[in-house]
Structure 1
Amino acid sequence: MIHQLSWKVGGQQGEGIESTGEVFSVALNRLGYYLYGYRHFSSRIKGGHTNNKIRVSTSQVRAISDDLDILVAFDQETIDVNAEELKKDGIILADSKFDPVLPNPETAVLYAIPFTDLAAELGTPLMKNMVAIGATSAILDLDPSDFYEVVEEIYGRKGPKIVNMNMMAIQKGASYLQEELTFSRKDLFLEKAVKKKRMFMIGNDAIALGALAGGARFMAAYPITPASEIMEYLIKKLPDFGGAVIQTEDEIAACTMAIGANYAGTRTFTASAGPGLSLMMEAIGLAGITETPLVIVDTQRGGPSTGLPTKQEQSDLMAMIYGTHGEIPKIVMAPSTVQEAFYDTVEAFNLAEEFQCPVILLSDLQLSLGKQTVEPLEYKHVQIRRGALIEENGIPEQTGKQYFKRYENTVSGVSPRVLPGMKNGIHHVTGVEHDETGKPSEAAPNRQLQMDKRFRKMENLVFPVPVYKNVKHANADLLLVGFNSTRGVIEEVMVRLEEEGITANHAHIRLLHPFPAAEFSAIASSAGRVVVIENNATGQLANIIKMNADCREKVVSILKYDGNPFLPGEVYEKCRELI
């Protein structure tokens, strides 16, 4: 028996590949296994090769595996594109309808199964994906009934007849493999997992749930890959809590609408990807100078322009920190797991109101769309902090015609905040430089005073975990560094390096701006090399580190920017080359 394997299903987009992976992975998650899934898909509705690679394990996994145990192929292209990943004696389950051919018979074992024909015998060839799941269950020593509950949930709205047909299709697939092909291998039998109730979700779902738990009651957004699921989730859920989602005409409107709603006192946010964030930059500057709380989610994807809209990349970092014109205080945070995506989203709303500034929650496509097993979220850790927001009737009477000092020059830099309509709270709000009451002012002393006041806020910023640290050695050969979704790969690479006698520590940056320079420098000081692993071409995180931390001469980069996530094996090999 084995404790871990990798399974992939592939075919043409629109052919049911996603639903195949969904039934397979949800069922195994409920059996107690940990899963990590990553979809390769095209930026079109139908057609083009797509696949879903799912890692199954009896312990936590947060990265795609280097190789592949089982490939389910609904067309020849799937074999041609993915067969090289298969382990020696790996298995291909291919639909005999297209007369499958294995280019190199020595690489794997191919079993041609009439998926389409077996499904057609039950009434429709569309159920070929369930036949494939049945065949897979036989290889893994799982009972076909293990999938029935999930099938009923997914297809139950279509009626009991369709549900039963899908269940029969799973049974047919298992029987065909065992009886017609007399399949007898036991080397891929999965160790039984301990059943435990866990969530199975993508990062975007965690962000949306975090926004809901964090008190957001309005979202303004424009659909864009890979951020759309956040809006789609909240379209269904926010109305149940008295909230609403508005699909705007563009990202400019989404951002300005979010600013307006936050000014009115409603926790509001927007979510987009790189092209949308480019359009929001002027509005982000408006939030900065008016000191209006604003939360924005940026799910990074391949750029520039339309670029690779459905592929992995981490190339928005510099833009998120330095993209706005002029200078404003800003917070840029980067969760590295689905759990962190939930808790960090809650914290983003708290920080936005406490420091009255834009907060950007940076994700990437792999984290946002990669589906994985998640331990139950602990809502007792959710806190709502609204900062210096004055309560109703909490403003003293103003003398004469004096306006409320909304931008008062305080020691902390954070000024008292009021909501529209509050008694004695009248003040100006403008995008030009202003005095303490908001009245426009171009006076040089006032300009310096307000700039200093705004930036003074960041001196008091306390972030729960600015750097996730796994420090095993007082002095290490390598310090492996990343942000967002590279955490799982780095954790696996560390284990492999340790087995080779190479000492390694790990630092994952969760607060990208203001950069935690002192904390990071302390970790880096005891490392021979600081290896920064990121999905972009110019080493953006490495350059941020060089600008802020005292380890410039130690920094080396491992970069990947072909649209694919890092694999543990390739990072491991590059790390070995550095020793």
Structure 2
Amino acid sequence: MINQLSWKVGGQQGEGIESTGEIFAIALNRQGYYLYGYRHFSSRIKGGHTNNKIRVSAKAINSISDDLDILVAFDQETIDVNIHELREGGVVIADSKFNPKLPEGAKGTMYAVPFTDIASELGTTLMKNMVAVGASSAVLGLAPEAYREVVEEIFSRKGSSVVEKNMEAIKRGSEYLNEQAGGQIQSFELEKADGKKRMFMIGNHAIALGALAGGARFMPAYPITPASEIMEYLTKKLPEFGGAVIQTEDEISACTMAIGGNYAGVRTLTASAGPGLSLMMEAIGLAGITEIPLVIVNTQRGGPSTGLPTKQEQSDLMAMIYGTHGEIPKVVIAPSTVEEAFYDSAEAFNIAEEYQCPVIILTDLALSLGKQTVEPLDHNRLQIRRGKLDLNAELPDLNGEYFKRYEVTEDGLSPRVVPGMKNGIHHVTGVEHNEQGKPSEDPTNRINQMNKRLTKLNTLHETFSNPIFANAPHEEADLLIIGFNSTRGTIEEILPRFDADGLKVNHAQVRLVHPFPVDELKPLMDKAKKVVVVENNATGQLASIIKMNINCTLENILKYDGNPFLPSEIYNQCKELL
């Protein structure tokens, strides 16, 4: 009996690979197992190799594994592409229809199961994925009935006969594998889970749920991988709370419409990926100079241009901080877990309204689309803070003068009103303006307005809790590993290995990348003999930002082939540095 295993299913995109992994994972989640999944998929709508790797454990896990225990293959390409991950003693379960063959020197044992033929006997080849799920359950020592609840949820609307046929497909797949293996696969049986109910979700859904809980009621957006799930989720949910989603003609429209929504007093967000954010840059500057709250989600993917639209990368960091022309206050938050994505999404609206500026929630593909177990979310932790906006305020009569919407104040934050508030009329323009919003090119006014805008974030570090996630038990460390976004779980995975080696290794994950949390990170760096920054890009963008803010010497571990880091890759390269 084992406490964790790694399972992967692969085939051609469009033949049910994702649903196979989904049904397999949800059933295990319902029994209380922890899961972490990463889906590799092609940028084509249909065709091209795709796979879904899912790690299952009786204890909490936060990354994919180095190796593979079970590979389920719907075609030969899946075996050829993924067999190198299979550990000694691993199992390949393949559809006998394509006459599967293990490459010479491959580890493990292969079982050919007639997925397609069994499904055809039951009425449709579409159920071959259910046969594969059944065969997998046999390897795990899991009874087919464990899937009934999930199957009923998915297929009950099609009638009880469809439910029973799918259950029969799972049962036959299990029976066939058991008969073929002859009881020789007991070593894959998982330890019993605790049975507790936990959420199983992707980062995009956590962001969408956080936005909803944080009071967002409007989302203009244009679909783009890997951000579209945020829009799709809120398309279904926002109308239930009196809100709406509008699909715009492009990202420029989405951003300017989001500015309009926030100007009117409605918490509004938009979401996109790198190419879309490039189109939004002028509008982000408009939000900056007009001091209108704006929340934008950027899910990083492989670039430049269309690049690798369905692959992992962390190369938008510099663009998010410095991409706009001119100089404006801006906040860039980088959650590192699905749970953080929920809370940071809700908090982003508070920050945007309190500081009257754009807030970018920066994620990456692995975090946005990777599905993982999440402990129950605590909605009592959430607050609604609207800063200097009071919709019930009685504004003084200004005797025909405009309201000083851009008044220069000691804290850099001007009073805020929305259209329709009596005595709150003011001018709004994208050119430099005076306190009433009227265009002005007066040098003194320009300096005063610029200083006001650029100093308003001076107190942000008092507002944003935990700008650094730190796991730093060692006062004098041999090494400090720094990362951001989805690398957190992978780094955490290898820390016990260093402990076993007798090495003192600390870990810091940057959660607020702009304004940069110097006071929180520098003490951790000062007590480490060496510092290494782990990131999915070719130029070491986070390392460059650290060096711009802290005088230091750093090492880089970079990966930019479109895949997330495996634990062993970071561990081995860190060992070389030591």
Q: Which amino acid aligns with 1:434?
A: H
**How far off is 1:124 after superposition?**
1.2
**How far off is 1:397 after superposition?**
1.2
Gaps of 5+ in 2: none
Q: Which amino acid aligns with 1:520?
A: L
CA deviation digits over 1:514-540, x for unaligned, max 9? 000121111100001111000000000
**How far off is 1:394 after superposition?**
2.1
- Identify the residue that residue 104 of structure 2 maps to in structure 1: 104
Q: Which amino acid aligns with 2:466?
A: V
Provide the rounded CA distance (Å) in 2 between the counterparts of 1:458 and 1:489: 32
SS at match of 1:187: helix
Q: How does 1:34-433 map to 2 (within 5 A)?
A: 34-399=34-399, 401-433=400-432
Provide the rounded CA distance (Å) in 2 between the counterparts of 1:24 and 1:139: 12
- Identify the residue that residue 443 of structure 1 maps to in structure 2: 442
- Identify the residue that residue 506 of structure 2 maps to in structure 1: 505
Q: How does 1:550-561 map to 2 (within 5 A)?
A: 550=551, 552-553=552-553, 555-561=554-560
CA contact (8 A) 1:219 1:270 kept: yes
Q: Does 1:483 align with 2:484?
A: yes
SS at match of 1:336: coil
Provide the rounded CA distance (Å) in 1 between the counterparts of 2:368 and 2:87: 29
CA deviation digits over 1:172-198, x for unaligned, max 9? 011111224424221111101110010
CA contact (8 A) 1:207 1:230 kept: yes
| TM-score under structure 1 length normalisation | 0.99
Provide the rounded CA distance (Å) in 1 between the counterparts of 2:296 and 2:105: 50
Q: Which amino acid aligns with 2:275?
A: P
CA contact (8 A) 2:83 2:106 kept: no
Q: Which amino acid aligns with 1:556?
A: E
**How far off is 1:75 after superposition?**
0.4
Provide the rounded CA distance (Å) in 2 between the counterparts of 1:101 and 1:117: 18
Q: Which amino acid aligns with 2:406?
A: Y
CA deviation digits over 1:455-494, x for unaligned, max 9? 1211111211100011110010110100000000100121
Provide the rounded CA distance (Å) in 2 between the counterparts of 1:514 and 1:8: 40
CA contact (8 A) 1:177 1:183 kept: no
**How far off is 1:390 after superposition?**
3.0
CA contact (8 A) 1:41 1:310 kept: yes
**How far off is 1:389 after superposition?**
0.5
SS at match of 1:447: helix
**How far off is 1:318 after superposition?**
0.2
- Identify the residue that residue 543 of structure 1 maps to in structure 2: 544
Provide the rounded CA distance (Å) in 2 between the counterparts of 1:295 and 1:263: 12
CA deviation digits over 1:304-354, x for unaligned, max 9? 000000000000000000000000000000000000000000110000000
Q: Which amino acid aligns with 1:417?
A: R
Report the RMSD for the aligned CA atoms in angstroms.
0.9
Provide the rounded CA distance (Å) in 1 between the counterparts of 2:391 and 2:168: 62
SS at match of 2:188: coil
Q: Which amino acid aligns with 2:390?
A: I
Q: Does 1:569 align with 2:563?
A: no
Report the number of matched residues. Answer: 576
SS at match of 1:431: coil
Overall identity of the aligned pairs, in %: 70
CA contact (8 A) 1:393 1:423 kept: no
CA deviation digits over 1:139-170, x for unaligned, max 9? 11111100111011112222211111000001
Provide the rounded CA distance (Å) in 2 between the counterparts of 1:361 and 1:148: 38
SS at match of 1:304: coil
CA deviation digits over 1:48-95, x for unaligned, max 9? 110000000111111110000000001000000001100011100011
Gaps of 5+ in 1: none
Provide the rounded CA distance (Å) in 1 between the counterparts of 2:43 and 2:156: 30
**How far off is 1:106 after superposition?**
4.7
Provide the rounded CA distance (Å) in 1 between the counterparts of 2:534 and 2:137: 37
CA contact (8 A) 1:520 1:549 kept: no
CA contact (8 A) 1:518 1:549 kept: no
| TM-score under structure 2 length normalisation | 0.99
**How far off is 1:105 after superposition?**
5.0
Q: Which amino acid aligns with 1:432?
A: V
Moved more, 176-185 or 138-147: 176-185
**How far off is 1:41 after superposition?**
0.3
CA contact (8 A) 2:84 2:106 kept: no
Q: Which amino acid aligns with 1:416?
A: P
CA contact (8 A) 1:390 1:416 kept: no
Q: Which amino acid aligns with 2:259?
A: I
Provide the rounded CA distance (Å) in 2 between the counterparts of 1:149 and 1:262: 42
Provide the rounded CA distance (Å) in 1 between the counterparts of 2:155 and 2:470: 44
Q: Which amino acid aligns with 1:237?
A: K
Provide the rounded CA distance (Å) in 1 between the counterparts of 2:406 and 2:390: 13
Provide the rounded CA distance (Å) in 2 between the counterparts of 1:523 and 1:453: 32
CA contact (8 A) 1:490 1:506 kept: yes
CA contact (8 A) 1:409 1:449 kept: yes
Provide the rounded CA distance (Å) in 2 between the counterparts of 1:143 and 1:11: 25
